[in-house]
Structure formats: C-alpha cells, structure tokens
Structure 1
Amino acid sequence: MRLTRTTSALTRRTLLRALGAGGVLGGLAGCGVPGAYVAPGDRAGPDLSADDKRLTWANWPLYIDTDDTDTTRRPTLEACRGRTGISVDYVEEINDNDEFFGKISPALMNHQQTGRDLIVVSDWMCARFVRLGWVQEMDRARQPHVTKYLDPLLSSPAFDPGRRFTVPWQSGITGIAYDRRRLGRELRQVSDLWARDLKGRVTLLSGLDEAFALLMQGNGVDITAWTADDFHRVVDQVEAYVGNGQIRRFTGNDYTKDLVSGDVLACQAYSGDVIQLQADNPDIRFVVPEEGAELWSDSLMIPDRARHKTNAERLVDYYYEPEVAAELAAWVNYVCPVPAARDVLAASGDEDTAALAENPLIFPDDGMRGRLAVARDITARERVEFARRWNKVVGL
C-alpha cells in the first residue's frame, strides 16, 4: 500500500464558506414549512444496487487521495471498485454548505431523487438534513467496520444519536494558532487571545457555526449542552473586543495569510490548516486550549430516494477499514475518524508517513482527546435570531 503526504488540505478547507442561515434557507430549515419534512416511511425508493453496481458521490474538491502523477486517478476508489465491483461517479461539486443545500433541497422537499447516492457536508448542515427527514438511516449490518472502528468521540452527536444517519468522512479541531517566535511565549487558554500585547493582532472566524463553540469553552461552558444565555454572553464579549480594537478582523480561511505574514500573531484556526503551515514554518503552533476545543466533522449521508443505497453503505464501510482510512489520512491530513489507522501508518516503513501517526492533530493523544468535544448544533428555531446578532457584530 502506498501512503503519501499531500498539501491539498489547506486548499480544500479554504473553499469552505459557512454563510449561516437566512432568507429562504433559514425559513425552510425551521418549522414554518410543514411540507418540507419527510416522514421515515417516505424516504426510501427502489434500490437498484443488486443489479446496478454503481453510485454517484458528491464531495468537496481535494478531499480524497489522488495519484502522484495523474490527479484524475483516485487510488482508494479504484481499489474499492476492484474489490466490490462498484463503479463510483465521484463529483467534486460541493464548495459551500448552504449553496449545496439550495441546489438539492427542491428535489428533497418534493420527494424526488437528487441524482446523488452519497453526499458529504459539515455536521451542522447534516443536522438540518436529519431534522427535515431528508436522509436515510444506514444499515449497520452492512457496515461492520463503521461499527467497530468509528472514533467514540464522534459516535453520538446531539443531532444524530448513535450516528444512524451520518458517518464522519474527516474531522478537525477548531482551536488557536499562533506564531511562537514572533509572540515570544506560549498560548494555553482562550483568554490568552485578549492579552494587551495582542491588541489588533487577533482574528476570529466569521462563520457563526465555526466560531461560537471555542469561545464558549473559554467561558467554561459544556458545548454539548450550551444555552441561549451562553451564546449571548459570548457575543457580548466579542462585541466589546471589537469595540476596543482587540480583534483585528473576522476571517474565512484567509487567516492563514495574516498568520504567515505576521500581521496577526494569534487566531482562531483549523487544525488541518496548521499542519500544512507548519511544513514551511515550524514556529506556527496549534493549541487545544486548557478549557477545551471543538471537534467537528464533515459527514457522509445517503439522501432520500437514492437509487443505490446498498452500494453507498458498502462504500462508506470500505473507508472505515483501517488500511484504507490510513491511506486517506496520509493525503488529507485531517483528524482521522478511524483511530486504528494510526497503527497502519506507524508500521508503513516510511519515515515521513510513520511520523503522521505521532501527529496529535491527525491522531489526538489521550490528553488532547480529554479536552475535545462535539458541540451541540444550533437548532432551526435558534438560527435566525443567532445569525442576525452574530452577523451584525462580524459585519456581514
């Protein structure tokens, strides 16, 4: 098995634009459109898998392993076809959670096929699909590797207890990145962002779903069960730090440019991005604060009326085999949802690849795992109010 590192993760994550909810999408996700909900008995369509060994999979760009010399080839997918006979039409069409939601929602709310058997979106968006009844429950009898190897930290988010409808594709941590050389000291707590010598040299993420959990953890909040009061307290604090100039600006993934240039000394950041930045600048550090950090996922789902449900379930399970998960992790450099893949990488015989097994931003160690949590998502009823207040502070 060939295991190769890649630098694609930074580019892939840069494409993420979490725009929050508003307008038509926000209303649809709420309770104001009764016809949008699909009852469990109306979600399945005829499954052609037994006679039609194929499926269509929609994913984000640069989120799967590719061949060194031919980027149109995807080794793990090709190996899956050789083993199962399933041919995959792999479409890199997801650049934004809300945009993709808007693309396929008309079909789903009208009980029609989307033309896709498998999709990958961020867990906060998965929550919307699950609440609307727009995804099918997976048959774990066809997924023994998911059952055995799924990381317990990711196994039961609030929006999908027991992961009946979703399976993590890749995960990451939202924590703090900083330049140790320029700053001249370590950062250990969320409150360190508010130090006087960092005034005007701090950025936060602009997306509501990306930003709020870490800031709540800085207040000692259990993000698996946070409240509206916890949210408004955070926004009050952020508003004050904007007002006094502590926060330089709010960013998408362009925070990486500010950190590299030295315009910013500390920022809210994604673990996968920092792994890539460290390849060129080992002084850039990533910290899971003492108060904790958010563990998030982009997850696989089978939409309603999918024509190849069984094929999709088999493909998902294939990627949970430790050897396959290891090959994927060596390319994308996110937190691997299959901890058993660590041993595969460690035994690879390649020095660089084996080093990935010791990287806590891919395989968090026990100390870090104890500080990670999956945040309760923002419900449909909360979203419009919360997004309106957050976006006003951020300036969106």
Structure 2
Amino acid sequence: MARTQSALPLLCLTTATLLALTACGTSNGSTEGQGSAPELTAQAEVGEGEGSLSILAWPGYVEDGTNDPAVDWVSSFEEETGCMVDFKPFGTSDEAVTLMRSGQYDVVSASGDASLRLIAGGDVEPVNVDLVESYEGIYPFLKDQLWNTVDGVNYGVPHGWGANVLMYRADQVTPAPTSWRSVFDDAEQNSGKVTAYDSPIYIADAAVYLMAHNPDLGITNPYALDADQLAAAVDLLKAQREHVGEYWSDVVKEVQSFASGSSVIGTTWQVGANIAQADGADVKTVLPEEGATGWSDTWMIGAESEHKNCAYKWLDHIASPEINAQVAEYFGESPATPAACELTQDASHCETYHSGDEEYASQIWYWTTPVADCIDGRTDVECTDYSEWTKAWTEIKG
C-alpha cells in the first residue's frame, strides 16, 4: 500500500528546503526571489473588513448564484462582513502561480503543486490559524503538512481534498482494471483512447507506479525523485505517450471524451466520473492497488493584500461546516471538516468521496511541489525540482 505523507511522522519543510525551491525558478524559467525566502509575519488580529476582497480560485470554489441561483455562499459572506467579492478563476496551478505573482489578489486556493512556489516567491504570507475559528474542526491529517507548512509555520487553511482515480468505460474495458498498469505497461490494449492529466505534476503518477513495480529504483516518495528516478518516470511516460489520445486539464472536456468514446481509460477526479454517470456514460472508477496521487487545496493570503481583515474573514467563512459542505458538494470533493458531512444535501456525499476514511486517505500522495532538498529524508543526493519536471514534461509530450 502506498502511504500518504499524512501517515508518516510530521516532516514540515525547513527554510533551507524552501530556499532551494526559491532558487530553482518557475515553469517559465524565471528565478525571481533568489537568495533568501522573504521573512513575512502573520496577522496578529482581525479588525473591521476593508470593504472588498479579490479572490483567485479554482472554478466552483467561489459561487454567488450567477451560475446557479441555488448555489451561492458569496452573498452571505458579503452581507455578514461587508467585504464585496471580486472573483477570478484559473484553470491550472501554473496559471494560479503566475497570476498570484502580480500582487493583485488577496486570497488564493492553491493546490500542493503551487503552494510551495507561492511561499518561496514571497507571494503569500503566514496565516495565524488562531484567528480562524473554523480551523479547529478541520481533519487533523490535512494540517501541518509538507504543502502548507514551513518550519512549523502555517501558510493557509486546508480546503477540500481528493484522489486522482482511474476511470474507465465499463462497456469497453474488460476485465475491470485494478492497477495503473492499464495506462502504463498495458496501455497498448487501448491505444489512442488513453487519457492523462496535462501537467508536470503527473510525473508523480508514474513515480507511484514505479514505486510499486520497480522497487530497485528506491522511490519512497513520488515527489522526491533524484535524476535517475526522474529519468525512469520520464521513460515510462514517453512509452505511454504513444497510446495517449488526449491530455486533459479541463475535467468537463475529459468527461465529453469519455461520453463520445474517444477516451476509455485514464486518470480523473471523482467529480468527472459523477458528471459522466449523470450524463448516462457507462463509466466506473477505482483507486488502484498501487495507491494514487491526489490533492489537498489550501486557502492562502496574498503578501501584498491590502484587505487582510476581509481575507481572514473569508478563510473562516469558507472553512465553516455549512459553507464547506456546500462547496464540497458543488465542486465534487471531500470537505475539509467532518462536521460538513452532516450538512450536505446528498446524505451519501461523504461516503462517495471517502471523507473520514483513513484507510482510503492513507493511499493518497497529495500533490507537493518537487524541490531540490529531498523531502523523503535523503541527504546524500539532490532531488529534481519543479523546473526540471517542467522541462521533462515538455520532452514527454514532444
């Protein structure tokens, strides 16, 4: 069984590791902020709201009734706090990092493949979780983790989480797959109809597979790959590339591909499977025997924000059980707080998304930004950082 970081002894990132990330550059090759990680301090108290709040987030995290009149948790926030929300959605973590570096946004929902880059770049600041009343009720396994904590200092409030599961057309893929082998070593069986997530972080999915099937490589954490381990993952993904019909970053478009039959097997989020099934597609999902990568999103505060009181009020609002239940159900993920499970309209929502299922959660490796200082504890070798993964991903896709 693959083990998630949350199942291991706490290994919060150190400043030295963060410095390595700061110097490694970004996906576009820039190296701003080299030399030292900014020394920023958290807010000491929360006062009156400043009247406005600019939010950068994944689509579906900030709903004001525009898309669906029945889906609105922004209006209540505005009424209660006087903080008027301006929302900008992003499509990928790389886009979120680029936009956040403009300094225009007060808060951001960052996945683990973006959060450490934002911390290292000085784009977000520490968060005083004592000022967020809802923080106490969040699942312990989401707190103080590699993707949201440095030197014991919290940089945000955990939000929803989930696994990157294997989805397949049950009417076209037989027997039912139980392993990631179906999209790697056995991908030829569905050549041209395999799909994969379009991001450098997908390299970790290959590493999870190699960790189980090629133990001689010595991989113990899919986000801590030395040069040889990265090369092995790249070789596996290049071989897979011959059989991939489509790389996806938009889950709705992926669902359409499964509905049409142009894709029949590949990685997805559970919400993708739910949409496909609701539309009548004969798809099923499985958490493969090797375990899987996944995500735990974190709400973070922009270092240049001029509306930090409103920012703290938003963090408390979005993490409260009532609102967390609404977001998790609408977006399609497990809520960050167990109390939300009692408040979802669909009584089986948390069961569907395995909320509180420690056995299930223990098989997930949550997205964590690769850095040069190996987060698996090795000190005799240098690991590859995100910029190297980005170069490798370009090479893989050709």
Runs of 5+ consecutive residues of structure 1 not aligned to the other structure: 1-20, 107-113
> In the alignment, which residue of structure 2 is the partner of 1:143?
132
Counterparts of 1:75 and 1:198, CA distance in 2: 41
Instruction: Name which of 54, 57, 78 aligns with 1:59.
Output: 57
Structure 1 length as normaliser, TM-score?
A: 0.77
Deviations 1:349-381 (A, max 9, x none): xxxx223233136x3634322311224322276
Residue pair 1:117, 1:309 contacting (<8 A) in 2 also: yes
Deviations 1:278-331 (A, max 9, x none): 212362112211111112133321111322223311221122221221122222
1:121 aligns with 2:120: no
For residue 277 of structure 1, report the CA deviation from its aligned partner.
1.2
For the residue of structure 2 that corresponds to 1:264, the secondary structure is coil
> In the alignment, which residue of structure 2 is the partner of 1:181?
171
Do the aligned partners of residues 180 and 139 (structure 1) sit closer, same or farther apart at CA in structure 2, a change above 3 Å counting? same
> In the alignment, which residue of structure 1 is the partner of 2:7?
none
Do the aligned partners of residues 181 and 24 (structure 1) sit closer, same or farther apart at CA in structure 2, a change above 3 Å counting? closer
For residue 88 of structure 1, report the CA deviation from its aligned partner.
2.7
1:201 aligns with 2:193: yes
Counterparts of 1:256 and 1:231, CA distance in 2: 30
Paired AA for residue 132 in structure 2: Q
For residue 167 of structure 1, report the CA deviation from its aligned partner.
2.2
Counterparts of 1:259 and 1:103, CA distance in 2: 31
> In the alignment, which residue of structure 1 is the partner of 2:203?
212
Runs of 5+ consecutive residues of structure 2 not aligned to the other structure: 1-23, 213-218, 373-383
Paired AA for residue 171 in structure 1: W
Paired AA for residue 123 in structure 2: W
> In the alignment, which residue of structure 2 is the partner of 1:255?
254
Residue pair 1:157, 1:376 contacting (<8 A) in 2 also: no
Residue pair 2:325, 2:341 contacting (<8 A) in 1 also: yes
Deviations 1:205-254 (A, max 9, x none): 23112x12222111224436632233221111122333xx4434433334
Counterparts of 1:132 and 1:336, CA distance in 2: 28
Counterparts of 1:378 and 1:299, CA distance in 2: 17
For the residue of structure 2 that corresponds to 1:357, the secondary structure is helix
1:26 aligns with 2:29: yes
> In the alignment, which residue of structure 1 is the partner of 2:39?
39
> In the alignment, which residue of structure 2 is the partner of 1:278?
277
For the residue of structure 2 that corresponds to 1:277, the secondary structure is helix
Q: Percent identity?
A: 18
Residue pair 2:77, 2:314 contacting (<8 A) in 1 also: yes
1:170 aligns with 2:166: no
Paired AA for residue 247 in structure 1: V
Counterparts of 1:383 and 1:342, CA distance in 2: 35
For residue 103 of structure 1, report the CA deviation from its aligned partner.
4.0
Instruction: Name which of 71, 77, 87 aligns with 2:74.
Output: 77
Residue pair 1:154, 1:374 contacting (<8 A) in 2 also: no
For the residue of structure 2 that corresponds to 1:200, the secondary structure is coil
Counterparts of 1:390 and 1:95, CA distance in 2: 18
Paired AA for residue 91 in structure 1: F
Structure 2 length as normaliser, TM-score?
A: 0.76
Paired AA for residue 38 in structure 1: P
1:94 aligns with 2:90: yes
Residue pair 2:27, 2:387 contacting (<8 A) in 1 also: no
1:370 aligns with 2:397: no
Do the aligned partners of residues 224 and 241 (structure 1) sit closer, same or farther apart at CA in structure 2, a change above 3 Å counting? closer
Paired AA for residue 151 in structure 1: Y
Counterparts of 1:263 and 1:321, CA distance in 2: 41
> In the alignment, which residue of structure 1 is the partner of 2:12?
none
For residue 186 of structure 1, report the CA deviation from its aligned partner.
1.4
For residue 73 of structure 1, report the CA deviation from its aligned partner.
8.6
Deviations 1:174-231 (A, max 9, x none): 121101122132111111323353233322223112x122221112244366322332
1:358 aligns with 2:356: no
Q: Choose between structure 1 and 2: higher helix proportion.
A: 1
Do the aligned partners of residues 181 and 198 (structure 1) sit closer, same or farther apart at CA in structure 2, a change above 3 Å counting? same
Q: Calculate the aligned-residue CA RMSD, in Å.
A: 3.2
> In the alignment, which residue of structure 1 is the partner of 2:376?
none
Residue pair 1:203, 1:264 contacting (<8 A) in 2 also: yes
> In the alignment, which residue of structure 1 is the partner of 2:5?
none
Counterparts of 2:144 and 2:294, CA distance in 1: 12
Do the aligned partners of residues 134 and 246 (structure 1) sit closer, same or farther apart at CA in structure 2, a change above 3 Å counting? closer
Do the aligned partners of residues 372 and 101 (structure 1) sit closer, same or farther apart at CA in structure 2, a change above 3 Å counting? closer
For the residue of structure 2 that corresponds to 1:316, the secondary structure is helix
> In the alignment, which residue of structure 1 is the partner of 2:371?
379
Counterparts of 1:185 and 1:294, CA distance in 2: 23
Counterparts of 2:109 and 2:353, CA distance in 1: 24
Counterparts of 1:305 and 1:287, CA distance in 2: 42
Counterparts of 1:285 and 1:125, CA distance in 2: 29
1:153 aligns with 2:174: no
The count of aligned residue pairs is: 350
